[in-house]
Structure 1
Amino acid sequence: MLYGATGVTPADRFRRHTLDLEICAMSDYLGTQLRILLASDLTDRAVLAFDRAVQLAISQQAHLTILHAIRDDLIKDVGEIVYGAAHEALQNQVADARARGATDADMKVVLAAHYDAAIIAESRQDRAHLIVLGSHRERPLRDAVLGATMERVLRFGDRSILVVKTSPTGSYSDILVAVDFSVPARDALEFAIRLFPRGRFHVLNACPNVLGDTASEWFVSPETVARKHEAQLEVIVQAVAHHMRQELSGADFTLTPVVDHGHPAEAAKRQIARIRPDLVVVGTHGHTGWRHATVGSVAESFLAWMPCDVLAVRQMHAEGGGRLSTLT
Structure 2
Amino acid sequence: MTLTRLPTRRIGPLTVGAQGLGCLGMSEFYGATSEGEAISTIRRALDIGVTLLDTADVYGHGANEELVGRAVAGRRESAVLATKFGVVRPGPGVGAGVRGDALYVRRACEDSLRRLGVDHVDLLYLTRVDTEVGVEETVGAMAELVAAGKIRAIGLCEAAPETIRRAHAVAPVSALQTEWSLWSRDIERRILPVCRELGITVVPYAPLGRGFLAGAVRSRDQLEEGDFRRFGLPRFSPENLPRNLPLADRLGELAGELGITPAQLALAWLHHQGPDVVPIPGAKRRDHLEENADAVFLSLTRADLAAAAAAVPAGEVHGERWNEQSMRFVDR
TM-score over 0.5 for the alignment? no
Tell me which structure has the larger Cα radius of gyration: 1
If asked which structure has higher relative contact order (CA below 8 Å, sep 6+), I would say: 1
